[in-house]
Structure 1
Amino acid sequence: MTSTDLSSALRKRVLYSSIGLAIVVSAIFINVALNLSRDLGESLELEHSTKVLSQLTKHVKSVIHDGKINELALDVNVKDELIGLLGRDVIGLEIWFNKKHIKLKSSPSYALNKLINNAVNAHKSNFDFIEIDDDRVLWIYENSPIDNLSILMVNKTYALDKATTYVSNRLVITAFLTFWLAVWGALFISALITKRFEQSNKKLKYLATHDILTGLPNRAYLYEYAQLYLNAENIKKHQEVNTLLAVYLIDLDKFKDINDTMGHLVGDEILKAISIRLCNLKEKNSQVIRYGGDEFVVWCDNLDETKATSLAENIVTLCRQPIEVNNYVFETSVSVGVSYYPRSGIQLDDLLRNADISMYQAKKHRLGFQVFQQELFTRSEFRINLRGQLNSALEQSQFVLYYQPKVQLPSNNIIGVEALVRWLHPLEGLLGPNMFIDIIEQSMFVHEFTRYVLMQAIIQCRTWLDNGIELSIAVNISPYNLMDPDLVSYISDLLIHYKVPAALIEIELTENASMVNIDKTQEIFTQLKKLGVKLSIDDFGTGMSSLAYIKHLDVDYIKIDRLFINDVVTDKRDEAVISSLLVLCQKLNILTIAEGVETIEQANKLINLGCDLAQGYLYSKPLPAEEMTKLLSNSKE
């Protein structure tokens, strides 16, 4: 039912209820008024008749006193004198004295009335109003035992009937006027209520479909609007004229940091500023919706692909402009995901999901905006499925360790291995770390996963020791593990439990990860150093502050990123960087490990430059524990 139908139904209900109430009130009013007028008329009639009867009684007593009682029925003059005291409405007058019954005036119409007969026979004074032959009659029986005198007077109540009729006529007119006044009042009230209801309904609908902070339409509005728009007719229209409906999902980058640091009031002002900027977009057919939190949706119709891309660029540029709040200037940025209707979906949920996938791709690679492509959905769907299977994978030990040797230059003797995780997925087969490591780091299982890997590595180290192979194992940990207060004690407990020397375990942390919080990293590294564990910085040289931070961390190894190794033979700049780094590490008494060595030429160049250790496919690909054990056994021979 629409709000218009609801308003009309409410108005009818109020009107009908008011009319019904007016009818009931008028009926009650008439009934009560008639009863009151009749009671009042009867009271006046009784009072008048009582006075007449009192005068009549005095006259009769006077006649009795004069000794003319016997003449009352015979003497016409005496009788007329007595009857003259009566009104013309009296239809009966009977007197009882000393057992004499004199009927001065009588009528058979009341002679058989039980009430009158009962009062006469009982010699008990009484009165009542009765109906006789469609006439209303008042009878009064007065008994005076002292005088031995009784009188019955019966008269028609014409005056009462006239009064009642008069009052009734006036009441009918009054009731009619009251009824129509009530109807008009009902119409006015119903119109007033309907208007108030419509105003309240509009206000409630606005509140339900608009964001209070920015005044923009909200998610509920978007779904309501899309339900009307997304239909077969519009699909056909877009296909015929080759136009697109573009849905832009906009997410503010690092907005949570602003909220946490500066407070929600500042965050709210930034959201309002962004909403104003988006509303100032020059596209005529665009609508801006606050989707929730720090996310906005721009809905723009009748675009070609060039204009759609241009609008995405405008959104990114517009939102990058500095915003001043409370004398602070914030340089904001956004990530925008774009999906096209009907190309990227014909339902709103599909369009938003695909725009969301594109937006996270743009955010991950700092692209500004990303238009949805099918391969993004396939990859995202695959990753979502993996995320949902992490718990069962840990419980079922589906994560296995592969080991890649590290060799000493120039002898190529294996002096250690790096543990690299693979996911032995029951359906997808063997998955490399690039497929799932970042998923784990963003999940609640990051600590549990790292502990699992550490345990498997230490168990393998123990197995090799039992087989006469003493070899260090390097394990990568996530920067989030630095926030685990029990990490160091957990490693210590494992080393004690499996009786593995701490020097055989090496903890690797990527340079960028270790620089997230240098103080926390230094604290954890110091504790691990006291434990006897070896420490390494992985992918060194890819960060912006490598040389500035290297002196703060007391590490045993620095692993030179493969980015510098790839072209070290042909690129003099790479050679110069590696050479300088090797000199620095020698001065700091830190061993260097070259990653990603794949050719003899690379290895020879590194030997000439003075690199200590190397790791890469030139020496061995990552191997499962059994194959690695065979390789180690063969190298010993």
Structure 2
Amino acid sequence: MPLRLAESVLRSGEPMAADQDSSLLAGWWAECFQIASALAVPLGRSPHLAGVLTLDSTRLRPFSEDVRRLASAAGAHLGGVIEQARTSEARAASLSTAHAVRQLLVDGARATGIGEAAEVVARVVQGLAGTERSAVYLLDNGGRLADVRFIDWPRAHEDVVRARLLGQDVSDVPLWRRTAEERQPLFIADTATSDLLPPRLAEETALASYVSIPLLSGERLLGLVVTGSGGRPREWSPALRQAVHQVVLEGALVVQNAELRAVEQLRLQQLAIEAHVDPLTGLANRRRFLEALETAVRDQPDRACAVLMIDLDRFKEINDSFGHSVGDDLLRLVGPRLGATTAPGELLARMGGDEFAVLLPDADACRAREVAQAINTALRDPFVLDGMPLHVDASVGIALCPEHGRDRSVLLARADAAMYVAKRSRDGHQVWTPDGTSDSRDRLQILEELRNALDTDQLLLHYQPKLDLRSGRVTGVEALVRWDHPDRGMLGPDVFLGLAEQAGLMRRLALCVLERSLRDLRCWRAAGHDLSTAVNLSMSNLQDVALPDQVAMLLEVTGVPAGALTLEITEDVLMADTARSHQVLSGLRALGVRLSIDDYGTGYSSLAYLRALPVHELKLDRSFVTHLTTDPRAAAIVRSTVRLGQELGTTIVAEGIEDAGTLATLRQWGCDVAQGYHIARPLPAGEFLDWLAARSALIPVDRLPG
């Protein structure tokens, strides 16, 4: 090529001619092809020239003006064609890159975890480069190759890579070292002339050329994506290189987002697990049990099952004698023994307090009795706590599906009733009996005794003080019912409230408790004590649409302001019939009565009902409170609930305060109200005023217990 003549035209942008005696035409080109004269014109228009067009002659000749104009016009036209072709090629490359990036983002949005995202990147690069196969090489934290994912590889070649590379320190491979240093794609046209891969590995995998891109998440190198082909070596065009660079940049974001999705998915799975696990024992909680039972009786109507309700005998005595911390330690030891009596597929759950439940799928009465007997046997040996042997037995009630019902609530109620029969008879376990057997007659007897107790003032109220943690004042009490049985002595509510609910006596019992607590409160307020009282409601109370009117009448009769009465409802009761619950609660709130969620955190702890239902107070369950100084998870739950209450403007009450450290921590976190044995045990009405007087009406905050 007459380089000097062409270079001059490129510089000037003008046509030029030269003869063999000119220095512009000197050189090997003119000598080899015996060029005597040449005309050179630019391709395109200055300053955007695509090249030079030359007309060569083997004899001396002048180029006429017509030839020059014709050549110049042809050059301008050809230049335009070349520029248009280049523009079309660039547009096609740009569209191809845009399509690849779009595909990367669409597929990457569905990827969870580094491995899935890396496969998406590999497939996109393979399609962009037109290669035959790809592989994703993932590192562990120690810099060793932990996993390889293949796309369109022959099985024999996969085995070669796994055998040679898995578990190896990748810093020994030049390709990895260079990628770690440069963090840029590498384009290898001929594997045989490159020293980045071991020659034997390249030969055994038949890899002739390849592209290697770093797998990045932010600044971290997580691995490599290698895509290539066999056969002949291949040159990688500048357009492809640019496209791959763009994919690498977008791919880093895809991988990072997929990694975050995996972390979030793991977090949600953990939260789902925790929502169904009892924090004290690690067993399934009430919510998990109810869901499993609902599935068993509703979604599998042709299958039988058995429900066992378990209540620990003498547990209350241990709690009262040694404190709730010892009681909790005992429950932790009871769980594994109970668990050892069940088979795979059978569900053991802690329902709350000292009550457990077992769901036995595909079980008949024989299997249910076998498990119940195993439970009684498992608890026979003493539990040793701090060197002290403690004995507890269990009363087990059994209900069978479908014999005793196909409704979740019915089965639970009947298993619960059978459990109370077992407790009274001290037989260890009982199967629910609907006919006139001795079990049913015994149940009828105690129900008749309970009706008589309501008529003869055998039901008494004890009051547990509630302490305002900001002012240090005792600002209220919780009313707790007791049964002064003429033969069995003082009975706690766990003995008779379940039967009262089943027999339809809870509405009458609740009104009795409300009336007596309001009358006691009226006397205390008349004596100058600015106090409030809290009373528990049951499921049947919350389904009674007449309750707001009855409460209004009692408030009017006693002269107690509505704001001095708090009604407590557990989460499970609240969620049993949301529409009716909302109606009754709205009516109570309209009176000015304060509403509280009792045992918050042990049932259906849903933020939705906190928004929808009109509650003033959340009462944290003692299972969280008693462990907040020793269990980081319990502490986190309590602290976050206190913050939630502050944000919602809801009073937070912590029950189960048994030591000064717990009280001090709650006060520091901003909890509003506390109650528990560290402050005072439940007291009869007459003793409460004496206790209050001895304590004094006001204690400065800096002298609070703890």
TM-score band by shorter chain is 0.3 to 0.5
Return the index of the structure with the highest Cα Rg: 1
What TM-score, normalized by structure 1, do the two folds share? 0.44
What TM-score, normalized by structure 2, do the two folds share? 0.40
